[in-house]
Structure 1
Amino acid sequence: MASETEKTHALLQSCSTESLISSLGLGIFCLVADRLLQFSIIQQNDWLRALSDNSVHCMIGMWSWAIVIGIKKKTDIGEIVLAGFLASVIDIDHFFLAGSLSLKAAITLPRRPFLHCSTVIPAVVLTLKFTMHLFKLKDSWCFLPWMLFISWTSHHVRDGIRHGLWICPFGETSPLPFWLYVIITSSLPHICSFVMYFTGTSQVMSSKHGNYIHV
């Protein structure tokens, strides 16, 4: 159990200059990347638009998790890549709903596919945490539910600027203002870090990464 001094140090680390600069950089990246994707050369090509959009999802997921854990070891790179994969793999449900590998079919769906329902995120996170507890994986893989949460949430929030959030069974919100998307995305690693701290996950991960989680 961490002492009060250690807990205070962990919380101070969460507001470190390094983490705040990284979050500012993430916000700027979101702003610039989504503006660049509006160029006609990208919008007029389905494959280029889809790959570019998915790549931005991936980069935001990677950047967000890098802020959460910091990059202290080479092994941290694997986690960061996994976070990017989780942030981008959601879009595979477009092809499942389309019942086809055709990109045209996948981007012209009559409704949103199931992984784009935001209610799915807490359901999957809680199920994952329960499963890990059941199989006694809560220490070695304790980061996974939080990684999935931050990766999928960043994807949903970014999609929200075009389509709003789909919150089953309550329906859809209005499209999110662009400024709100940037603020939420750049703040998400800090929110995740604080929740991890209060649930005790950050203390377990600190021994794994050799430092306190410093968002």
Structure 2
Amino acid sequence: MMASEAEKTYALLQSCSTESLISSFGLGIFCLAADRLLQFSIIQQSDWIRALSDNAVHSVIGMWSWAIVTGVKKKTDFGEVILAGFLASVIDVDHFFLARSLSLKAALTLPQRPFLHCSTVIPIVALTLKFTVHLFKLKDSWYFLPWMLFISWTSHHIRDGIRHGLWICPFGKTSPVPFWLYVVTTSSLPHVCSFIMYLTGTRQKISSKHGLCIDV
């Protein structure tokens, strides 16, 4: 019991540590700088450069966000960080599915937004993953995956929201997200998720996996 309480305390403190807060501030600065840089004419003039740069920023934000949650301590932890970046960027593949073409021009000129860009999909997929992990008793290996997907996809949607608003099925779209709100929300998202994960017990498991040692 003592170890359990110590793990809980450590997990909560780690999510609000000076290191994680500085990392979040850095993430906010990156969001601010990256999206300003993407407005340069040399990037906007090429569809390929614009699309790849935009997707790369999504990926970096996903990796950075998950690194804040886990507090990367070991080389093996980078595998999770890379996976978070992949999840944050892979959403855009639905552009090609809706276009039914591998043409970038077709993918960028869709008459409507593709299905993975509906924000209602995020909790549905995350809960489905959580149920699947529980059903197949994969909790020790993949318990973090629903949370990683939630953070990665949510950061992608919020960033897209500064241009198109959030599409919340079946209620429609919101107004475009103010840029300052995007930066603040994205940089604080890892801490909000960490706190919810703490309440559900997942944060303690992640803290233990990523280098926590408790003496009983």
> Which bracket does the TM-score occupy, shorter chain normalised?
over 0.9
In structure 2, the partner of 1:60 is 61
Shift of 1:70: 1.0
Which letter does structure 2 place at the counterpart of 1:68?
A: V
In structure 2, the partner of 1:71 is 72
Do structure 1's residue 122 and structure 2's residue 126 form an aligned pair? no
In structure 1, the partner of 2:174 is 173
Do structure 1's residue 202 and structure 2's residue 209 form an aligned pair? no
In structure 2, the partner of 1:134 is 135
Structure 2 runs not aligned, ≥5 long: none
- Decide which structure has greater helix share: 2
Q: Secondary structure at the match of 2:16?
A: coil
Measured against aligned partners, the alpha-carbon deviations of 1:51-103 in whole angstroms (never above 9, x if no partner) come to 00000000000000001001111110100000000000000000000000000
In structure 2, the partner of 1:17 is 18
Measured against aligned partners, the alpha-carbon deviations of 1:148-179 in whole angstroms (never above 9, x if no partner) come to 00000000000000000000000000000000
Whole-angstrom CA distance in 1 between matches of 2:23 and 2:207: 19
In structure 2, the partner of 1:102 is 103
Which letter does structure 1 place at the counterpart of 2:157?
A: H
Shift of 1:5: 4.3
Whole-angstrom CA distance in 2 between matches of 1:9 and 1:99: 49
Q: Secondary structure at the match of 1:182?
A: helix
Whole-angstrom CA distance in 2 between matches of 1:173 and 1:211: 42
In structure 2, the partner of 1:151 is 152
In structure 2, the partner of 1:28 is 29
C-alpha contact 2:24 2:68 (8 A) present in aligned 1: yes
Shift of 1:211: 2.5
Which letter does structure 2 place at the counterpart of 1:39?
A: F
Shift of 1:8: 2.8
Percent of residue pairs bearing the same amino acid type: 83
Whole-angstrom CA distance in 1 between matches of 2:147 and 2:183: 20
Whole-angstrom CA distance in 2 between matches of 1:207 and 1:67: 15
Which letter does structure 2 place at the counterpart of 1:84?
A: G
Which letter does structure 1 place at the counterpart of 2:99?
A: A
In structure 1, the partner of 2:48 is 47
Whole-angstrom CA distance in 2 between matches of 1:5 and 1:206: 11
Shift of 1:7: 2.4
Note the aligned Cα RMSD (angstroms). 1.2
Shift of 1:120: 0.1
Q: Secondary structure at the match of 2:140?
A: coil
In structure 2, the partner of 1:81 is 82
In structure 1, the partner of 2:184 is 183
Whole-angstrom CA distance in 1 between matches of 2:4 and 2:84: 30
Q: Secondary structure at the match of 2:39?
A: coil
* Cα distance change on mapping 1:78 and 1:3 into 2, 3 Å: closer
Measured against aligned partners, the alpha-carbon deviations of 1:166-204 in whole angstroms (never above 9, x if no partner) come to 000000000000000000000000011111111111122
Matched residues, number: 212
